[in-house]
Amino acid sequence: MAGIVLSGSCSSRLLLRDREAGSNGASLAQYNGLRAVDTMHLPSSRTPKLSCSGPKCRTIRAMASPTVSAPKRETDPKKRIVITGMGLVSVFGSDIDNFYNKLLEGESGITQIDKFDATNYSVRFAGQIRDFSSKGYIDGKNDRRLDDCWRYCLVAGRRALDEANLGSEALEKLDKTRIGVLVGTGMGGLTAFSNGVEALIQKGYKKITPFFIPYSITNMGSALLAIDTGLMGPNYSISTACATANYCFYAAANHIRRGEADIMVAGGTEAAVMPTGIGGFIACRALSQRNDEPKRASRPWDKHRDGFVMGEGCGVLIMESLDHAMQRGANIIAEYLGGAVTCDAHHMTDPRSDGLGVSSCISKSLEDAGVNYVNAHATSTLAGDLAEVNAIKMVFKNTSEIKMNGTKSMIGHGLGAAGGLEAIATVKAITTGWLHPTINQDNLEPEVTIDTVPNVKKQHEVNVAISNSFGFGGHNSVVVFAPFKP
């Protein structure tokens, strides 16, 4: 939801805005992972002035974009970061191949809510997870106590470790102080929190469970996963609304590149399909109200979109230095090239329409980097969808070779988990050579001239992919993946 930073495959200072969360000033993304060379600032005399009207607007100065030549990939194997495992919990289950096959088929996971009685709610559908099982990952007693947010995290995290051949026996042979966990969440243990408040109001403070605070706070996913696996490296959570998972990938990569960890378990988790979550976003007027045809409700870039559809789940990547992965003979799935994060510093939720700071020199640097696939934020909101497209068009001079799709059209908006699930979809696009469709593309906005892979999957060799996530508060993030090349 907020503004964009496209540091894509990227240069050291790249800025891109999405109208879905607005900005009054231009924040420049910090370098991460790709070396930019010959940076030159434009003279201040060429800095334009912009003004706006309205009670909260003021005259602002737009910073001229720096000229950046094409970036070079990191070459130090201790700083190159590869993906060696992935794990998820989704509306299509917990098997990654099944998840991506469902996406390729264009199947919608959006259904009527039955997790609670939503009869009197103005929105009665979501990307609700059904038939979830934690068997083999969480013992029965803890499973009954835990908020779904943490159950999803533990299962997805353990499955990612298993895919990376980092099960219990393998971990015992490694230095666990150099393996960290960074799984964030936008909302935290929302059911645990709501139940605690309800107990307080209805029965008094003495009836509040002692698990109320521990299972509500946002750091508990990372903590529980570390406790479960004995991982003693960097451990915390990040909460930047719907940009959370990408922020976690970005920070996790920095821990590896600074030499503080060899492996990071990173991603995002969320379980907000419950009364407070649905009710809260109804109050924000953010959700689609297409109750009569929920599977057609999430329709990024379509003229008849009317808001996003709530989703839930968890997506986790095992990020590892190339040097460490090769030493232990790990299977390398893809490479993480870099990323960027910025803040709009403008408004809690409101978007802005301009692409402040974007210039042709940034466009050139991104084109030279070979980006030809964008997994878009694409929430199916009126302002944000077009803003993202327009901003991308400002950065890329020629979009004829670029494909762009919206995973949320099928699974809904997973909030803090969205970037995690979409990162996995992005990596699968790289490894399979197939892009999933953006479904419900019936009447595309005329401004959308980029190929959105409408309704039917397409074969496409991905050179470099970017995955966008933006959050309330103006939090912007982009992460960049590519096929692994030794």
Assess whether 377 carries a catalytic annotation. Answer: yes
Token representation of residue 195: 């139940």
Catalytic residue among 255, 377, 436, 475: 377
C-alpha span between 90 and 449 (Å, rounded): 31
Is-contact 245 420, C-beta < 8 A? yes
Q: How many helices (H) and strands (E) does the chain have?
A: 13, 17
Is-contact 294 436, C-beta < 8 A? no
C-alpha span between 216 and 244 (Å, rounded): 17
**What's the one-letter identity of residue 67?**
T
Q: Which spans in 321-404 are helix H? A: 322-327, 360-368, 382-395
Assess whether 41 carries a catalytic annotation. Answer: no
Q: What stretch of H or E contains 247?
A: helix 244-257
Catalytic residue among 324, 347, 413, 475: 413
Catalytic residue among 10, 242, 343, 361: 242
C-alpha span between 22 and 412 (Å, rounded): 22
Q: What stretch of H or E contains 140?
A: helix 140-145
- Side-chain half-sphere of 272: how many Cα atoms within 13 Å? 26
Is-contact 270 185, C-beta < 8 A? yes
Assess whether 57 carries a catalytic annotation. Answer: no
| Active site members | 242, 377, 413
